[in-house]
Amino acid sequence: MRRIPKSLLLASLSSNPFPRRNPLPLPLLRPPPNPLPRVLPPFAAAARTLTAPVAPPEPAAVAAAAVKPDGIELLEAAEQREAASDHQEAFGLAIKALEPLQASHGGWSLPVVRTLRLAGAAATRLGRLSDGLESLNAAAEIIDSLESVDKEVAAVGAAVHEQLARTKTAMGRRWDAVPELMRALELKAILLEEGSLELGNAYKDVAEAYTGVLCFEKALPLCLKALEISENQFGGESPEVAKIRQLLATVYAGLGRNEEALEQNEIVRMVYEKLGLDVELSLAENDVANMLILLGRSEEAMDVLKRVIKRASKESEERALAFVAMAKILCFQDKSADSKRCLEIAREILDSKVSVSPVRVAQVYAEVSMLYESLTEFEVALCLMKKTLMFLDGVSEMQQMQGSLSSRMGWLLLVTERVDEAVPYLESAVEKLKNCFGPLHFGLGFSYKHLGEAYLAMNQTESAVKYLTIARDIINSAFGPKHEDSIEAIQSLANAYGVMGSYKRAMECQEQVIDAYRSCGPGALDDLKEAHRLRHQLKMKAQGLPHAVFPANSLPVIRSRE
DSSP class of residue 90? H
What whole-number distance in Å separates Cα of residue 100 and Cα of residue 114?
A: 14
For 505, the domain range is 439-562
User: What is residue 4's predicted lDDT score, i.e. its pLDDT?
Assistant: 47
CA angle 309, 315, 321 (to 5 degrees): 50
Domain annotation covers residue 345: no
Task: Compute φ and ψ for 312, nearest 5 degrees.
Answer: -70, 150
What whole-number distance in Å separates Cα of residue 552 and Cα of residue 537?
A: 9
Domain annotation covers residue 218: no
Q: What is the 3 state secondary structure string of 157-193?
A: HHHHHHHHHHHHHHCCCHHHHHHHHHHHHHHHHHHCC
Task: Compute φ and ψ for 68, nearest 5 degrees.
Answer: -100, 140
User: What is residue 51's predicted lDDT score, i.e. its pLDDT?
Assistant: 33
pLDDT tens for the chain, residues 1 to 562 = 445 445 444 444 543 322 333 333 333 333 333 333 332 222 223 233 333 333 444 554 444 444 456 889 999 999 999 999 999 999 999 999 999 999 898 889 999 999 999 999 999 999 999 999 999 999 999 998 886 778 899 999 999 999 999 999 988 899 999 999 999 999 999 999 999 999 999 999 999 999 999 999 999 999 999 999 999 999 989 999 999 999 999 999 999 999 999 999 999 999 999 999 999 999 999 999 999 999 999 999 999 999 999 999 988 989 999 999 999 999 999 999 999 999 999 999 988 876 667 777 888 889 999 999 999 999 999 999 999 998 888 787 788 899 999 999 999 999 999 999 999 999 999 999 999 998 999 999 999 999 999 999 999 999 999 999 999 999 999 999 999 999 999 999 999 999 999 999 999 999 999 999 999 989 899 999 999 999 988 888 888 887 777 775 544 445 444 4
Inter-residue contact 342 to 330 (CB < 8 Å): yes
User: What is residue 55's predicted lDDT score, i.e. its pLDDT?
Assistant: 45
Domain end (from 191, 220, 241): 191
Domain annotation covers residue 312: no
What whole-number distance in Å separates Cα of residue 165 and Cα of residue 208?
A: 13
Residue whose C-alpha is closest to residue 405's, from 366, 351, 353: 366
Domain end (from 164, 191, 218): 191
Taking only Cα atoms into account, the Rg of the chain, rounded to an integer number of angstroms, comes to: 28
User: What is residue 172's predicted lDDT score, i.e. its pLDDT?
Assistant: 86
Domain end (from 191, 210, 241): 191
Domain annotation covers residue 158: yes
What whole-number distance in Å separates Cα of residue 94 and Cα of residue 110?
A: 14
Structural domains of the chain, count = 2
Core vs surface per residue 271-303: b (16+ CB within 10 A) or e: bbeeeeeeebbbbbbbbbbbbbbeeeebeebbe
Beta-carbon contacts of 255 under 8 Å, excluding residues fewer than 6 positions away, are: 216, 217, 220
Amino acid letter for position 104: S
Give the chain's length.
562
Q: What share of the chain is helix, strand, coil (3-state, %, to 5)?
A: 75, 0, 25
What whole-number distance in Å separates Cα of residue 552 and Cα of residue 492?
A: 11
Q: Angle formed by the axes of helices 278-294 and 298-311, to 10°?
A: 160
Q: Angle formed by the axes of helices 174-191 and 151-170, to 10°?
A: 160
We report the CATH number of the domain holding residue 181 as: 1.25.40.10
Domain annotation covers residue 385: no
Q: How many CB atoms lie within 10 A of CB 519?
A: 12
How many whole angstroms from its chain centre is CA 378?
26
Task: Compute φ and ψ for 519, nearest 5 degrees.
Answer: -75, -10
Domain annotation covers residue 253: no
User: What is residue 250's predicted lDDT score, i.e. its pLDDT?
Assistant: 96
User: What is residue 496's predicted lDDT score, i.e. its pLDDT?
Assistant: 94
Give percent of the chain above pLDDT 70: 85
Amino acid letter for position 76: E
User: What is residue 552's predicted lDDT score, i.e. its pLDDT?
Assistant: 57
What whole-number distance in Å separates Cα of residue 217 and Cα of residue 239?
A: 25
CA angle 534, 539, 543 (to 5 degrees): 145
The overall longest dimension of the chain from CA atoms, in Å, is 96
Domain annotation covers residue 221: no
Q: How many CB atoms lie within 10 A of CB 175?
A: 22
Inter-residue contact 88 to 143 (CB < 8 Å): no
Domain annotation covers residue 50: yes
Give percent of the chain above pLDDT 90: 70
